Amino acid sequence: MVKKVGLVFLVVTVVAVGAYGGGFALSGVGSKALGMGGAFRGLADNWSAAYWNPAGLAQLRKSEFNVMSTSISPRPEFNPQVTIGGYDVGFKNGVVRYPDDKTTFSPNVSGFLRLPSRGNLTFGVALFVPYYLDSEWDLFEPIYEDIIEPYPIIDHKLKLDVIDIHPSLAKSFMDDRLMLGVGMSILNGEIDYRKPILSPTSLPRPHENIAIDAVFHGEGWGYGANAGVIYKLSDKLQLGISGKTGTTIKFDGNVKKDLYAINNIILEEEALEEASTSEDSMAIGFIFSEIAKESWQNEAKADLKLPVDIGIGFAYSLGEKTTLTFDLSYTFWSRLDSVIIKLEGNNSPVDTSSAQDMIIRTKWEDIYRLSFGGEHYFADQFSIRFGFYYEPSPIPDETLTPLIPDIGAKYGTNIGTSLKISDWELGYNFEYVNYASKDLILDTDVGLDFDNYPGSYKSYCITNNLSITFRF
C-alpha cells in the first residue's frame, strides 16, 4: 500500500493555483497553514512544514498525501494611460481593461512521503508549488488601420509555474523540546512571457512604429535549500525560526516574433522611391509584406532569481483545544533586479545584426509580512481556523505593470475548517485578499520599451480551497 501511494505521489502531475502573495509567489502552501494566514513557522505540524519550517517534520509519524481543489477568482482592473511624448502608440487608453476574467478550478497535489528512519530522525520527500502566476490581458492594438492581419486579442501574458521537489531531514533532541530540519529545493519551472514590441520606422505617423508580437517560452531547473529550528520555550509556547536560500532557475527556450505588416501600396511605393540602399529596400519590403505576417524565431536563455526568505514564528497553546500563532517574515526580493532574455541569431530575416536581448526590468524591493492565526477544536475531530496577514508589494512604481497582480499592499483574511476521520482529513479554506489601489501618473521610461504602464490599478482576489489529506 505504502509503495503504491508513494509511487503515485512522486509521479503525479502537479497543477497549482492559489491566492497570490508577494511578487509572483503564492501566499503559502497547505490548507491548514493558509487557513491560519500563513502564521505557521512556530507550529509546522503537518506536511507543509517542508515549506514553512522543515524542523516541524520531526513531529510527523506518518506520510501525508494531500489533494486540494482550488478555485481562484482574481479581480484586477487597469485603466491605461500609456503614451510616448503625449502621443497614443496603440495602448487602449481611457477605458478600464480586465484580464481574461474567469474563475479557475484546478487540482493541487502535494504532501510529504516519510521514508523509513531510526530513532528521532525523520527523512522524506515533499512536493509542492511555491510560485505560480497566470495573467493575460488585451491592452494593445496597432494605431495603423491598414494592418494586413488583426493583432492578437491576448497581447500581454505572463505565466509562471514552479514545482518544488523537496528532500528533507529533521531530528528532535532534548525529549522533543528542540527540533532541527533542513531541506533541498529541486525546482522545475516553466515560463511564458508575451508583450508587443514597437519597432521604429522612417515612415510618417501613424506608421512611425510597427508592431511585433514577441512570445518567450522557457523551461528550466534551479536548486536551493531551506533550514529551520523549533524550540519549546514552555509547555504552552513554541518558537520557530526558518529561512531559505536564494535560487536561480535557468530557462532554456525560444522567442517567437510576428511582425504585423502594413497593407498600403501607395505608402510602400513612396518609401521605396526614397530608399538609398538595397538594405533599405529589403527592410521596406519586409514591413509591407504581401503575406499575412512575417514570423521568425530566436533561441533564448534567461535566469530568474528567486528571493532569500527568513522568518520567525510563535505558537501559543490556550489549553488542549486552542492554538494561536504569529509570524514575521522578511523576503529579499531585491535579488530580482531584472530578467534578461538573451537571444541568439539575427535580429530579423532582413537584419543580420545580432538579435537584441529582451530585458524585463524589475528593481523589486525587500518586504516584510505580518501574519496572525489560530485554530480551535470543538471536538477531537472538528476544528475551525482563522488567519490574517499584511504584506506590502515589492514592486516599485518604476516597474509596475498589470501583468503581475501585486499592485499594492495586501490585506488577507482566511477562514477555514477541518474534519478528521481516522487517517483522513477533510479541509476547507476561504481567502479574501484586498490590494491597495494605485494611480501611476507618469512613465519613467525614455524610448519605446516600457518598464511600467501608467494608469489606474485596482484589484482583489477570492480563493476557495477544498482539501483531502490521507496519512499512511
The structural domains of the chain, with segments of one domain joined by +, span 2-471
- The pLDDT assigned to 240 comes to 98
215 vs 251: CA distance, rounded Å: 14
Domain 2-471: which topology? Answer: Porin (2.40.160)
- The pLDDT assigned to 5 comes to 42
Q: Which of 51, 23, 42 is nearest to 316 (CA)?
A: 42
- The pLDDT assigned to 352 comes to 81
- The pLDDT assigned to 277 comes to 85
Region of 284 on the Ramachandran plot (φ > 0 left; ψ -120 to 50 alpha; else beta): alpha
Q: Which of 18, 19, 50, 43 is nearest to 373 (CA)?
A: 43
- Residue 39, classified by CB atoms within 10 Å of its CB into exposed (0-12), middle (13-18) or buried (19+), is buried
- The pLDDT assigned to 426 comes to 94
Q: Residues near 186 by Cβ (< 8 Å), separated by ≥ 6?
A: 164, 165, 166, 167, 221, 223
Give pLDDT < 70 ranges for the chain: 1-21, 100-107, 290-293, 442-448
Residue 335, helix vs strand vs coil: helix
